[in-house]
Chain A
Amino acid sequence: MALTETRPQAAGAASRPDGGAPERTQVTAVEKVLGTGDHKTIGRIFIGASLLFVMSDLVMAALVNLQASAGGDFLEATIANRLSLNHPLGLLLCGALPLMLGLAIYLVPLQVGSPTIAFPRAAAASLWGWLLGTVLFVVALLIKGSYGGSSETMTRLGHVSVGLVVLSLLTGVLTVMVTVVSHRPAGMTLSRVPFFSFSMLVTGALWLSTLPVLLADITLWQIRRPGPSDFEFGAYPAIEWVFHQPAIYIAAIPLLGIFADVCGSLSGQRQRNYTVIQSLIVAFGALSFGPWAQGDAARETLMWIVAAVAIALPVIAVLGGSIDTLRRGKLAVNGGLILTLSSILVLLLAVVAGALQGLATIGNKDQLFDLFAGGFTTLTPSTPSSGPGVAVGQFYLVIAAVVLGGLGATFHWGSRIWKGGLPSGAALALAPLGLLGGLAFGIGHVVIGIAQPDADGAKALAAVSGVGAIVLAVAVLGGLGAVVAVAAGKSNETSDPATGPEALGGTFEWLTASPPATGNFTIDLPTVESEYPVLDRNDQGAN
């Protein structure tokens, strides 16, 4: 129910006793959206807006990399510097994290069998706060502000808007966590929570322990009352740790849950060793705890090296376990599966790049092998102390993985999000495009960091990254186009109900209508006696 809607008992008292014009009792569509506390509307707006911002941030990333490939002749230097500093913030805080949060706000109540999200007004505040913060961030960036800007007011505005975005994301993930913990029906113990919801619980724990530290850094620099150059050379380096491992992996934790759930619901099979997969998700989350590794010194410790290498293991194990589930069932390949599989493969590449960074620091006097990590301060290959490197490539790969995973989840659960679902053909076409773009986006920088080519080679590889960003942006645009077409009623293609997740899915969201009605569930939910209550019900029906 929209929070602005008139209560049913008040509807009869609409006409005034003095004979004046009757009070307006009907809420308009805009009022419904602005005042909504429905997690489905909030989730849809989060997903759509974050895809839009991801796309524009990818264009920014492409411009920055094309600038690097052109040797600094493509854009004006000050603009290039601003874009270079701010595009990772945009990609992470305005794109990747809210995309995962939007999916969670939409899907988690459905997965745990709840008619609503916990604290719906807080979820709505999270959406509008994030949207306002993101718009302010973009406005500040456009008017010579945000990090690297020349206008003091606009630079400060950009800085504050990042704080608002972080605060809003924290509010949103809190509602998701409480939904998982306290809205579960009887019988659904934590060890029976669907993988995506469980991964969001782990994600929430990590966001709650990581993002407040980022917020503290932002607050402190706001209190210092710095000038524009201080924001660039003081505040920005203070928050840059969140783009590097291990902290960057907090964006990718839900991908493990998404992939495990997609494989389960497409194969109709139960995941073997369910709690082991859950434990692996927890392990991935624990290894992505990053506030302790803010300084350069921390990145040369044994703990950092171990975390950088060990984090590959949960990804490989979840991939293996989920593919085993898929293999045991009747394989029905769809676009959602290909996209989510692509996201895990890109994530795997990111953790390999991270492991290489960790291993490179081992050695007696010098490093085991030379490797250039790089940073976002100036993405120009000729800059020896900064520029493209493995860490930058790893960041791009993680972002690409999240974007592909988000798109995959949007298509896989499309029939629960939009009426009839998204066209599966579009997902199959977008998957190779997205995978190719995502790989190129990150690999260019990883190769620069490992091979350390001459200036011409570095320029060529930066161009590869730039083109990759454009290709990935096109894939996102395709996904957005599919969403808009379905929302406008131009497409009514549905997945095959006999072989799709609608028939084979074992978790509660597959018991809802397409899209779910108000209150989500129109039937009595079966008692939860295993991780897959819908499969249990089907099995009992068959017997």
Chain B
Amino acid sequence: MALIPATLTAPPLPRRRQLLFGTAFAAVGVGMFELALVGTYLAERSAHRATWLTENVIPLTQPNMQLGTLVLGSIFIQWAVWAIARNERGQAYLGLGLTLLMGAAFLNQTTFLWKTVGLRMAQQEGPTFYAATGAHFAIVGIAMAFIVLMGIRTLGGQFSSRLPDGVSAAALFWHVSVALYSVLWLAVYIMK
């Protein structure tokens, strides 16, 4: 019977930081998409300054809470990155799970905000408002799906201290989504 040697040769690593670079480039594209939509919103608001949001009110509490939720998510996912780099898998799963919870809370808060504001698509503000905020809603959704996928692959043993790229890539995308929300928060919700 063949014996398993005491020390196995490590399998070759995947290409260096391929997933991380891919995520970074995708994040640039996603960022430009969102920023273009926010820019269009600002241009329309500037063109209709006198009549902009005269029928509806955007509350401040919700957007502030949303920003806080996303920033908390950033802390949690960075915890996951820290943990996977040290092979603390339990902590890594906890960090990823808490980030997902923050993401779900954010999506819930966004739909609540849409209901509270009550903008109709037929209003002049409607298309650009929903395009900008809806696109960010989708970006956070994509970030969550990415985290789920990377979490499953971590469970499968693909990511560890030897190769933490997947979790780092998910964290990078999450951080970009938070940065984009901070622009949205300032441009759409604060500087009304």
Chain A residue at minimum C-beta to C-beta distance from B15: A182
**A183 is an interface residue with CB less than 8 A from chain B:** yes
Q: Which of B116-132 contact A (CB under 8 A)?
A: 121, 127-128, 130-131
Task: Report A39 CB to chain B, min CB distance, Å.
Answer: 14
**CB <8 Å contact, B40 and A183:** no
**CB <8 Å contact, B22 and A220:** no
Q: How many chain-B residues does the 8 Å CB contact rule pick out?
A: 25
**A170 is an interface residue with CB less than 8 A from chain B:** yes
Task: Report B27 CB to chain A, min CB distance, Å.
Answer: 10
**CB <8 Å contact, B18 and A182:** yes
Chain A residue at minimum C-beta to C-beta distance from B40: A220
**CB <8 Å contact, B127 and A220:** yes
A-B contact pairs, 11 of them (CB 8 A): A119-B22, A175-B22, A208-B28, A212-B31, A216-B33, A216-B34, A216-B37, A216-B131, A219-B37, A219-B135, A220-B37
Residues on A with beta carbons closer than 8 Å to the beta carbon of B22? 118-119, 174-175, 178
**B115 is an interface residue with CB less than 8 A from chain A:** no
Chain B residue at minimum C-beta to C-beta distance from A176: B25
**B155 is an interface residue with CB less than 8 A from chain A:** no
Chain B 155-177, CB-CB to A under 8 Å as 1, else 0, gives 00000000000000000000000
**B17 is an interface residue with CB less than 8 A from chain A:** yes
Partner of B25, one of A183, A208, A216, A225: A208
Residues on A with beta carbons closer than 8 Å to the beta carbon of B36? 212-213, 216-217, 291
- Beyond the given A119-B18, A208-B25, could you list 17 further A-B residue pairs with CB under 8 A, ordered by the A residue number? A174-B26, A178-B18, A182-B15, A182-B16, A183-B18, A204-B25, A205-B28, A209-B29, A212-B32, A212-B33, A215-B33, A216-B37, A217-B40, A219-B135, A220-B37, A220-B40, A224-B127
Chain A 196-228, CB-CB to B under 8 Å as 1, else 0, gives 000000001100111111011101100111000
Task: Report A206 CB to chain B, min CB distance, Å.
Answer: 11
**B98 is an interface residue with CB less than 8 A from chain A:** no
Interchain CA distance A175-B18 in the complex, whole Å: 10
Residues on B with beta carbons closer than 8 Å to the beta carbon of A211? 29
Interchain CA distance A445-B164 in the complex, whole Å: 56
Chain A residue at minimum C-beta to C-beta distance from B17: A182
Partner of A183, one of B15, B26, B31, B37: B15
**A45 is an interface residue with CB less than 8 A from chain B:** no
**A181 is an interface residue with CB less than 8 A from chain B:** yes
Counting contact residues on chain A (CB < 8 A from B), the size range is: 20 to 34
Residues on B with beta carbons closer than 8 Å to the beta carbon of A181? 21
Residues on A with beta carbons closer than 8 Å to the beta carbon of B30? 212
**A177 is an interface residue with CB less than 8 A from chain B:** yes
Residues on A with beta carbons closer than 8 Å to the beta carbon of B15? 118, 182-183
Known: A174-B25, A212-B29, A213-B36. Contact between A223 and B131, CB under 8 A? yes
Residues on A with beta carbons closer than 8 Å to the beta carbon of B134? 223
Chain B residue at minimum C-beta to C-beta distance from A215: B33
Interchain CA distance A539-B17 in the complex, whole Å: 34
Residues on B with beta carbons closer than 8 Å to the beta carbon of A209? 28-29, 32
Chain A residue at minimum C-beta to C-beta distance from B27: A208
Chain B residue at minimum C-beta to C-beta distance from A174: B25
Task: Report B110 CB to chain A, min CB distance, Å.
Answer: 16
**CB <8 Å contact, A177 and B25:** yes
Interchain CA distance A208-B21 in the complex, whole Å: 13
Chain A residue at minimum C-beta to C-beta distance from B20: A182
Known: A215-B33, A216-B33, A216-B37. Contact between A178 and B131, CB under 8 A? no
Residues on A with beta carbons closer than 8 Å to the beta carbon of B32? 208-210, 212-213, 216, 291
Q: Which of B98-147 contact A (CB under 8 A)?
A: 121, 127-128, 130-131, 134-135
Chain B 5-20, CB-CB to A under 8 Å as 1, else 0, gives 0000000000111100
**CB <8 Å contact, A225 and B18:** no
Chain A 168-191, CB-CB to B under 8 Å as 1, else 0, gives 001000110110011100000000
Interchain CA distance A464-B101 in the complex, whole Å: 64
**CB <8 Å contact, A182 and B131:** no
Task: Report A439 CB to chain B, min CB distance, Å.
Answer: 35
Interchain CA distance A181-B33 in the complex, whole Å: 23
Chain B residue at minimum C-beta to C-beta distance from A213: B36
Residues on B with beta carbons closer than 8 Å to the beta carbon of A118? 15, 18, 22
Interchain CA distance A219-B41 in the complex, whole Å: 13
Q: Which of A304-350 contact B (CB under 8 A)?
A: none
Q: Give me the 5 closest cross-chain CB pairs, A-B, nearest first.
A: A216-B36, A212-B33, A212-B32, A213-B36, A182-B18
Interchain CA distance A182-B25 in the complex, whole Å: 12
Residues on A with beta carbons closer than 8 Å to the beta carbon of B28? 205, 208-209
Chain A residue at minimum C-beta to C-beta distance from B43: A295
Interchain CA distance A212-B32 in the complex, whole Å: 6
Chain B residue at minimum C-beta to C-beta distance from A219: B131
Interchain CA distance A210-B25 in the complex, whole Å: 13
Interchain CA distance A273-B127 in the complex, whole Å: 51
Interchain CA distance A24-B152 in the complex, whole Å: 32
Known: A118-B18, A181-B21, A182-B16. Contact between A213 and B33, CB under 8 A? yes
Residues on A with beta carbons closer than 8 Å to the beta carbon of B130? 223
Partner of A182, one of B21, B26, B37, B135: B21
Residues on A with beta carbons closer than 8 Å to the beta carbon of B131? 216, 219-220, 223
Interchain CA distance A219-B17 in the complex, whole Å: 32
**CB <8 Å contact, B29 and A170:** yes
Residues on A with beta carbons closer than 8 Å to the beta carbon of B40? 216-217, 220
Chain B residue at minimum C-beta to C-beta distance from A118: B18
Q: Which of B36-81 contact A (CB under 8 A)?
A: 36-37, 40
Chain B 77-101, CB-CB to A under 8 Å as 1, else 0, gives 0000000000000000000000000
Task: Report A236 CB to chain B, min CB distance, Å.
Answer: 16
Interchain CA distance A182-B37 in the complex, whole Å: 31
Task: Report A201 CB to chain B, min CB distance, Å.
Answer: 10
Interchain CA distance A177-B20 in the complex, whole Å: 12
Most chain B beta-carbon neighbours within 10 Å: one of A170, A210, A215, A223:
A223
Chain B residue at minimum C-beta to C-beta distance from A177: B25
Residues on B with beta carbons closer than 8 Å to the beta carbon of A175? 22
Residues on A with beta carbons closer than 8 Å to the beta carbon of B16? 182
**CB <8 Å contact, B25 and A178:** yes
Most chain A beta-carbon neighbours within 10 Å: one of B25, B31, B34:
B25
Chain B residue at minimum C-beta to C-beta distance from A207: B29
